[in-house]
Amino acid sequence: MIHKLNDWFFSLVDRYMDIHYGERKQALLEDHPETLVEIGAAYGANFRYLRPGTKVIAIEPKSSFNALLKRRAKRFGIEVEIHNYGAENMNIESESVEMVIGSLVLCTVKTPVKVLFEIKRILKKEGKYVFIEHVKADRHSWVCKVQHFVKKPWKWFFDGCHVTRQTGRIIHNSLFSSVELEEFESKTIFVPIIPHVCGVAVK
């Protein structure tokens, strides 16, 4: 019964996320390799955008997601290998993977710079880091004022999420050989996470 309730709840979440991010995710992941690493895999929101038969090395610190990850992997024909630890220290060989993906992850990690360092470490030369993240709004905007007003309760309620983190700038400054970054606004009712960036960083 619990499994069915979990699946029902996350299917609703998944539909909502697909409405807001689906087209961009499909475009970003169109040429993904047969094996990739996903940081902050959570319930497997990105599995639907991967080709059946893809192997995903899922980095997810919360083991409570394991059963759901496995069920969703089976549903979408994904082979999943789950690692229950944070992305700051990944037990993955250096220069061994072609792609790392992450969506709405760097807002919650304690040290995004360290996570990005790890991503670069495990990527092969010219490997890609594909991302979608919400970011701090322009400091003159009304959204920025809202972000600063709610940042403390938001962080507590949403598992450490930083709504004023300048994630796009952090990625740009992480010494990838190139970063293609698009800024966009999500049409969400959750005002603090309206501004977003997405793109591809190449090692």
Q: Does the pLDDT at position 1 exceed 60?
A: no
pLDDT, tens digit (0-9, with 9 covering 90-100), for 28-66 = 999 999 999 999 999 999 999 999 999 999 999 999 999
Q: Measured between alpha carbons, how far is residue 131 from residues 8, 42, 75, 104 in Å?
A: 26, 15, 24, 8
- CA pair distance 158, 23, nearest whole angstrom: 25
- Split into its structural domains, the chain has a count of 1
- CA pair distance 72, 82, nearest whole angstrom: 13
- CA pair distance 129, 141, nearest whole angstrom: 29
- CA pair distance 100, 58, nearest whole angstrom: 10
pLDDT, tens digit (0-9, with 9 covering 90-100), for 61-107 = 999 999 999 999 999 999 999 999 999 999 999 999 999 999 999 99
Q: Which helix (H) or strand (E) holds 60?
A: none
Residue 135: closest CA among 39, 199, 58: 199
Output the domain CATH number for residue 80.
3.40.50.150
Dihedral angle, C-alpha 44, 173, 180, 55, nearest 10 °: -30
What is the reported pTM? 0.92
Cβ pair 84, 114 in contact under 8 A:
no
Q: Does the pLDDT at position 2 exceed 50?
A: no
Give me the long-range contacts of 197-200 (CB less than 8 A, separation at least 24): 197/131, 197/132, 197/133, 197/135, 197/167, 197/168, 197/171, 198/24, 198/28, 198/131, 198/132, 198/133, 199/28, 199/130, 199/131, 199/171, 200/28, 200/128, 200/129, 200/130, 200/131
* pLDDT for 6: 52
pLDDT, tens digit (0-9, with 9 covering 90-100), for 142-173 = 999 999 999 999 999 888 999 999 999 999 99
- CA pair distance 176, 131, nearest whole angstrom: 13
| Domain span holding position 169 | 2-202
Q: Does the pLDDT at position 9 exceed 90?
A: no
* pLDDT for 10: 56
